[in-house]
Structure 1
Amino acid sequence: MLTSVPGFTSIPSLWLQIIIVAVWVLLILLIAWVVKRFATDEPEIVRKIVHIGTGNVILLAWWLDVPASLGITASIVASAVTLLSYRFPILPGINSVGRQSLGTFFYAVSFGILVACFWYLQQPQYAVIGIMVMTWGDGLAALIGQRFGKHKYQVFGSQKSWEGSLTMTIASYMVSSLILLSVEGNVWQTWVVSLAIALVATGLEAVSFLGIDNLTVPLGSAALAFALIQLLSFG
């Protein structure tokens, strides 16, 4: 099968999909590298640029109808690279050697699990919800919490801020609403389910250690969205 995109009519669609995704990821890494060069005292900004930028790959995979096998393979490769980066300086500025968090690894794993589950069910929007809640909710919560978080609280020894948690709730609600609105339409269930996702995702993000929220938030958000929509029988 050949794609009809102008200038690429001779390229198989699968290869074009790979090229588009690869170019996007390389662009994000380039932006992160430039920011790292000029903001050496802001390592969290570099990590969140990569966190948010690469997370949006799930949107490209959805829109381009990327095969599940490609998404799973990419997840396996990314998981292996991130594991190695904890021992070797493969991803400087994103992972520090010996860093006491497996968040980047869990993030890559969550991609593969969600693609495997919801592409198989032909319901990719739920995988997108899970990843996008983690991408924008957790990403913005970390940035806002660290810069403006004045009111702190602790859950199982992990310190959070109410400002960061509020950001997580709002961002999660917004991305969930937009995705469900595009699929299910402007019905009351869209807004109720989005609110439930936002609240649960915020709770899962608050109860985190060693970066486990990068797995529990996307998986929990996607599973909750799928379960509630089936229960409410719309769509």
Structure 2
Amino acid sequence: MTAAWPELTFALWQQIGIVALWLGAIVLAAEGLDRFVKAEPEIVRKVVHIGVGNVILLAWWLHIPLWLGVIASLLASAIALLSYRFTILRSVNSVGRKSYGTFFYAISFGVLIAWFWSIDRPQYAALGLLVMTWGDGLAAIVGQRFGKHRYKLWDEQKSWEGSIAMALVSYTMSGLIFFGLQGNSPATWLIPIPIAIIATLLEACSKYGVDNLTVPIGSAAIAFVLDRLWLG
């Protein structure tokens, strides 16, 4: 017996429309910054990085179905790969270094939605992606603008200022998610500590943009495991 294709109801079309409008606005803004304002490539890319990452909050709030989230991730991954070859979105791939970060970023959405939507724990997917979205995004900007103290891992140039920004923002994003769900408890402020440390290490050790995959999945996994252990 063949399984029926999920019904595309009016409510589902509304959800798709809201997400599409958000993503379209982010991409248009980034393309405008790149083509007309001539903003710095790293700034433009992080506008996309941060703006797109926050779509996970829309997906959580709108209760986007698992299958739709995974399909959207696969489509975004395909577009990212095509963009590396044909420069479909110049603002996304204008950093001037060898990186598949956009592709890994799209894949991470699908992995986290498939994992945590299936067990009705979308908060962990949101946590992992927000750590990556805001932590890595602001770390890159801080490191580029204010990074005076440099270090190198795996031939990748990093700054202590950027890494500190990554740790602080990762802790803040994790704490906000836990605070929103369980209030002002010890777990709210203690569990984000190892999340921030691991996320910062994963970001620092990355090459070719793979941190866009390892940071969100690693952060979400640590949050899930430690929260389960804390609750017993």
TM over 0.5, shorter chain? yes
- 8 Å CA contact 1:145–1:160 kept in 2: the answer is yes
Q: Which residue of 1 aligns with 2:178?
A: 180
- 8 Å CA contact 2:42–2:95 kept in 1: the answer is no
| Secondary structure of 1:21's aligned partner | helix
Residues 166-212 of structure 1 deviation map (CA, whole Å, 9 limit, x = unaligned): 11011111111111111122100111111111111001000000111
* Pick aligned residue for 1:30 from 17, 28, 31: 28
1:150-189 aligned within 5 A: 150-189=148-187
Q: CA RMSD for the aligned pairs? A: 1.5
Gaps of 5+ in 1: 1-10
Measure how far apart 1:39 and its partner are. 3.7
- 8 Å CA contact 1:86–1:99 kept in 2: the answer is no
Measure how far apart 1:95 and its partner are. 1.4
Q: Does 1:232 align with 2:230?
A: yes
Cα distance in 2, alignment partners of residues 98 and 193 from structure 1: 37
Runs of 4+ in 1 over 4 A off after TM superposition: 96-99
Cα distance in 1, alignment partners of residues 95 and 205 from structure 2: 25
Gaps of 5+ in 2: 1-8
* Pick aligned residue for 1:133 from 127, 131, 134: 131
Q: Which residue of 2 aligns with 1:66?
A: 64
- Which letter does structure 1 place at the counterpart of 2:47? I
Q: Name the CA shift for 1:161/1:102 in 2 (closer, same or farther; >3 Å).
A: same
Q: Does 1:54 align with 2:38?
A: no
- 8 Å CA contact 2:77–2:106 kept in 1: the answer is yes
Give the length in aligned residue pairs. 224
Report the more deviating stretch, 207-216 or 34-43. Answer: 34-43
| Secondary structure of 1:100's aligned partner | coil
Q: Which residue of 2 aligns with 1:149?
A: 147
TM-score in terms of structure 1 length: 0.92
Measure how far apart 1:140 and its partner are. 0.3
Cα distance in 2, alignment partners of residues 82 and 140 from structure 1: 22
Q: Name the CA shift for 1:98/1:39 in 2 (closer, same or farther; >3 Å).
A: closer
Q: Name the CA shift for 1:96/1:33 in 2 (closer, same or farther; >3 Å).
A: closer
Q: Name the CA shift for 1:181/1:97 in 2 (closer, same or farther; >3 Å).
A: closer
Q: Does 1:81 align with 2:79?
A: yes
Q: Which residue of 2 aligns with 1:20?
A: 18
* Pick aligned residue for 1:211 from 203, 209, 212: 209
